[in-house]
């Protein structure tokens, strides 16, 4: 997502005060959201949340929440979507929601869909410091999954070109 697309989406989702209300809905400071418009690309969690909100708005005429998602909200949504899953899985909050949406392998799939490093995501979860855009994206995906049964498309990791390692003895011969 580009900053221009983000600006267009903010105006579409929040016609009154697009940029300011978008910042509030994502749970970020207005100066942080201002930086999103100045970069070449929008951070992955922000793009994921806004894209999911656009889908909910266009397909189901649902407006995004005006404040960030709290973990207890996710717990309630998870229980409504699949009663008893939290007790059965032993997960709560964002973990339970991601498990419902992505199934087994939810950690890797969630990180890939958010375009962030899995260790960064895991640190946020372990320290109970999940960013607003991450929580917003998961909440929106959970709602889409509940309405349609569809899961977000997990992008495949780009393959890194393999480097052929030259054995030490061969390097010595080449030198």
So what's the pLDDT on residue 162?
54
So what's the pLDDT on residue 89?
82
Neighbour count for residue 57 (Cβ, 10 Å): 15
37 located within any domain: no
**pTM metric for this prediction:** 0.84
Do residues 52 and 141 lie in contact, with contact meaning Cβ atoms separated by under 8 Å?
yes
**């309630």: which residue's tokens?**
76
Chunked mean pLDDT (size 10), the chain, 175 residues: 92 87 91 89 94 96 88 87 85 89 92 93 90 93 93 74 60 62
So what's the pLDDT on residue 91?
85
So what's the pLDDT on residue 55?
96
31 located within any domain: no
119 located within any domain: yes
With a CB cutoff of 8 Å and minimum separation 6, the contacts of 98 are 106, 107, 109, 110, 138
So what's the pLDDT on residue 115?
93
Do residues 7 and 37 lie in contact, with contact meaning Cβ atoms separated by under 8 Å?
yes
User: How many structural domains does the chain have?
Assistant: 1
163 located within any domain: no
So what's the pLDDT on residue 45?
95
157 located within any domain: no
With a CB cutoff of 8 Å and minimum separation 6, the contacts of 107 are 98, 118, 121, 122
Does the CA dihedral 38-41-44-49 come out positive or negative? positive
2 located within any domain: no
Do residues 35 and 43 lie in contact, with contact meaning Cβ atoms separated by under 8 Å?
no
1 located within any domain: no
171 located within any domain: no
The string of DSSP codes covering 114-166 is: HTS-HHHHHHHHHTT---HHHHHHHHHHHHHHHHH---PPPPPPPPPPPPPPP
So what's the pLDDT on residue 144?
95
So what's the pLDDT on residue 158?
53
Do residues 24 and 66 lie in contact, with contact meaning Cβ atoms separated by under 8 Å?
yes
Q: Give residue-wise pLDDT tens across range 138-175.
A: 999 999 999 999 999 888 765 455 556 656 665 666 65
Domain enclosing residue 112, as ranges: 43-148
So what's the pLDDT on residue 44?
94
d(CA 10, CA 110): 24
């Amino acid at each position: 997502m580009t900053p221009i697309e983000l600006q267009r989406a903010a105006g579409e989702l929040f016609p009154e005060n697009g940029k300011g209300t978008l910042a509030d809905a994502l749970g970020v400071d207005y100066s942080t959201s201002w930086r999103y418009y100045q970069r070449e690309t929008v951070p992955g969690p922000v793009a994921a949340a806004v894209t999911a909100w656009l889908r909910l708005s266009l397909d189901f005429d649902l407006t995004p929440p005006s404040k960030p998602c709290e973990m207890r909200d996710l717990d309630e949504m998870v229980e409504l979507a699949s009663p008893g899953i939290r007790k059965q899985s032993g997960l709560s909050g964002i973990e339970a929601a991601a498990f419902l949406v992505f199934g087994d392998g939810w950690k890797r799939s969630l990180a890939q869909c958010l375009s962030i490093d899995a260790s960064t995501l895991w640190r946020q979860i372990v320290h109970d410091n999940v960013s607003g855009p991450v929580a917003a994206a998961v909440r929106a995906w959970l709602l889409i999954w509940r309405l349609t049964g569809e899961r977000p498309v997990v992008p495949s990791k780009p393959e890194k070109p393999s480097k052929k390692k030259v054995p030490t003895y061969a390097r010595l011969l080449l030198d």
